[in-house]
Structure 1
């Protein structure tokens, strides 16, 4: 039931927004009582935080697995990181939209945790770019922090418009982004 509550909240928050969704709507959607909701969650915000943790923790796991690989160049690591961000659209699309749009409704303690994890995601990408610059895989004049923010902006915004049943698959979109980015950062 806990996962059903989370999924119902993801769908409702994505459609109506966190503030406009009531607990009553969630339980009505599931055909359960508010007592059932409160058995699993103390508040609507706790569900929102659970959505955030699940989403970002999964991204961090995938990122860390990729960057630990010694058999992969920095270029391949960066491309893999882009694919991780984009390929999660299909399985996590609604959660991603909720993550990016509704985090402002978290209390300060939760907001701090989310910011720290978002910074981890950013710093992993930035470190790969810095290491790629040192290894002369990327242009020497790049500003790794700004390039990182650009990459994250491109990837994160795609959650707003990408449709899994659209013209391109998530991996095709990732490859288009990779091609566009690589033309600007590769060392020549």
Structure 2
């Protein structure tokens, strides 16, 4: 039931927004009582935090798997770009809630989520730094800026990318990788 509450809430938050979705909306969608909701979550904000932590923890776990693979740093970056785009394709509503609704978390919860997001970015930055040290990437690159650029390009895709549209998630990931590694000239 806890997972059902989360999944239905994600869809409601995506459609109506966190502020406009009431606990009553959530329980009516599920056909349960508010008591059922409060058995699993103390508040709507705690539910939102659970959604955020689940989302980022899953990304961090999959990022770590890529980081530990015996691959070139370029290949690791390509896989992480694909991971982020395919995640948007597979979990679009969760991604929208993750990126759009964080402003509704209390200060302590927002700080925890930001810390985890920063860890993801720092891990990406470390791969870029290692690639520079191993002469896979240009020496003059600034790893921090490049990490932000990769995250900006990939994460913003949740706004417009339609997995059912004319471009697949795999193709979009390849386009982004080509852009990042080769530019447009």
**TM-score, normalization: structure 2?**
0.97
Conserved? CA contact 1:14–1:94, under 8 Å: yes
Match of 2:5 in 1: 5
Post-superposition Cα deviations, 1:100-135, rounded to whole Å, max 9, x if no partner, equal: 000010011111110110001100110000110111
In structure 2, C-alpha distance between the alignment counterparts of 1:38 and 1:91, rounded to whole Å: 29
Conserved? CA contact 1:56–1:117, under 8 Å: yes
Conserved? CA contact 1:55–1:92, under 8 Å: no
In structure 1, C-alpha distance between the alignment counterparts of 2:23 and 2:59, rounded to whole Å: 28
Conserved? CA contact 1:79–1:178, under 8 Å: yes
1:75-114 pair list within 5 angstroms: 75-114=74-113
Match of 2:130 in 1: 131
- Give the superposed CA RMSD: 0.8
In structure 2, C-alpha distance between the alignment counterparts of 1:170 and 1:121, rounded to whole Å: 21
Q: Which runs of 5+ in 1 are unaligned?
A: none
CA drift at 1:91: 2.0
SS in 1 for 2:91: helix
In structure 2, C-alpha distance between the alignment counterparts of 1:5 and 1:26, rounded to whole Å: 7
In structure 2, C-alpha distance between the alignment counterparts of 1:44 and 1:91, rounded to whole Å: 24
CA drift at 1:92: 1.3
In structure 1, C-alpha distance between the alignment counterparts of 2:84 and 2:95, rounded to whole Å: 10
In structure 1, C-alpha distance between the alignment counterparts of 2:124 and 2:85, rounded to whole Å: 14
In structure 2, C-alpha distance between the alignment counterparts of 1:142 and 1:90, rounded to whole Å: 30
CA drift at 1:90: 2.1
In structure 2, C-alpha distance between the alignment counterparts of 1:125 and 1:138, rounded to whole Å: 14
How many residue pairs end up in the alignment?
A: 183
CA drift at 1:164: 1.4
In structure 2, C-alpha distance between the alignment counterparts of 1:116 and 1:99, rounded to whole Å: 14
Match of 1:63 in 2: 63
Match of 1:30 in 2: 30
Give structure 1 regions of 4+ aligned residues with deviation exceeding 2 angstroms: none
Conserved? CA contact 1:18–1:105, under 8 Å: yes
Match of 2:49 in 1: 49
In structure 2, C-alpha distance between the alignment counterparts of 1:78 and 1:135, rounded to whole Å: 14
